[in-house]
Amino acid sequence: MVQENGAVVSRSVFAWDYILWEVRLRLVVAGFLIYSGVFFLSWYLSSKMSITYRGLPAKEKVFWNLAATRGVFGIQSCIAGLWALLLDPVFQVDKVYSQQEWSWFICLIASGFFLLENVAVHVSNIVFRTFDLFLVVHHMLAFGGLFGMVTNEKSGHYLPLMGMLLEMSTPFTCISWILLKVGWANTLFWKANQWVMIHMFHCRMILTYHMWWVCISNWNAVQENLGRLHFAVVFAGLSAVTIILNPYWTYKKTKQLICPVDWNFSNRTMKNGSSKKLNGKPLQTKDL
């Protein structure tokens, strides 16, 4: 009886009328606010607890908090994506048109996350006068793919969920970058995490091949289901991830294992577990 009640409660969390525009937009906004909360929680806790964080430039503090936010989103994405890929019977039968209440909820919350990512990346680029082309393209295509699902209530959810599963590497990327800044790049834990992260990038490549298989084997149905514009965005995003982003990031992370360099910020590097500036002014290895 307890299990049945628990199941009812669990289902009620996802039981919304997703046909209504206001419901979809509210959940997108909810996702934006939830992950904004994660960002500011990371800022608050890091400011209180981390000596390293307090000594970072403002631009790197923002990146630290974004890394933590992405790590949390990556955990959500892994759970949802693996459930759709391996366990959900509806998605096992139909990979083009299938929808679930839980997948609606997860994808709309994820749309809010990528809306936050785009806002954060563009504001950061303006404030700090930087521009990461790969990151901008990645976030715009990711948001475009999910936003197409928001505007088209008939589009299937399997491909968006597989796109979310591509975030499987982000928790390990978060751990890698933060420990790199702390000066723990010479520890066994950092190296083990780096190995797992590199493996996750290889898994991302395999997953993109699976997504291509779904698209090619159901080409006409996918185009009909998504519509031309949404299909073009999904096709462009999948092509960019397969041909450019995954190989590039896999190469950079593999190189980072051998030479622990923070390549997000070219004016700072890590050597033998300590942080240095390239102008020759050393910084001591910091405690967490």
Local confidence band at 139 (pLDDT 50, 70, 90 cut-offs)? confident
| Eight-state DSSP code of residue 268 | E
Cα 188 from Cα 216, distance rounded (Å)? 42
Q: Give me the mean pLDDT over the 55-60 stretch.
A: 87
**Which residue in the block uniquely carries the two structure tokens 């240095």?**
276
- DSSP run (H or E) holding 281: none
Residues 193-238 pLDDT 10s: 999 999 999 999 999 999 999 999 999 999 999 888 888 888 988 9
Biggest CA-to-CA distance, the chain: 67
pLDDT at 269 over 70: no
285 against 43, higher pLDDT: 43
List the one residue out of 147, 116, 122 whose CA is nearest residue 135. Answer: 122
Give the least confident one: 4-18, 47-61, 85-99, 165-179.
4-18
Cα 71 from Cα 77, distance rounded (Å)? 10
| Eight-state DSSP code of residue 238 | H
* Residues found in the chain: 288
**Which residue in the block uniquely carries the two structure tokens 């009909």?**
224
pLDDT at 74 over 90: yes
Is 250 within 8 Å of 241 (Cβ atoms)? no
For residue 102, what are the contacts with CB-CB under 8 A and spacing of at least 6?
14, 80
| Eight-state DSSP code of residue 109 | H
Cα 157 from Cα 160, distance rounded (Å)? 5
Local confidence band at 120 (pLDDT 50, 70, 90 cut-offs)? confident
pLDDT at 282 over 70: no
Is 283 within 8 Å of 274 (Cβ atoms)? yes
177 against 267, higher pLDDT: 177
Residue 193: is it exposed, middle or buried by C-beta count within 10 angstroms (0-12/13-18/19+)? Answer: buried
DSSP per position, 26-48: HHHHHHHHHHHHHHHHHHHHHHH
pLDDT at 46 over 50: yes
Beta partners for 276?
269, 282
Instruction: Say what the pLDDT of residue 197 is.
Output: 94
146 against 12, higher pLDDT: 146
Rounded to the nearest 5°, which phi and psi values hold at 270?
Answer: -115, 135
- 272: region left, alpha or beta (phi > 0 left; psi from -120 to 50 alpha): left
Q: Which amino acid is at 87?
A: L
Cα 261 from Cα 245, distance rounded (Å)? 19
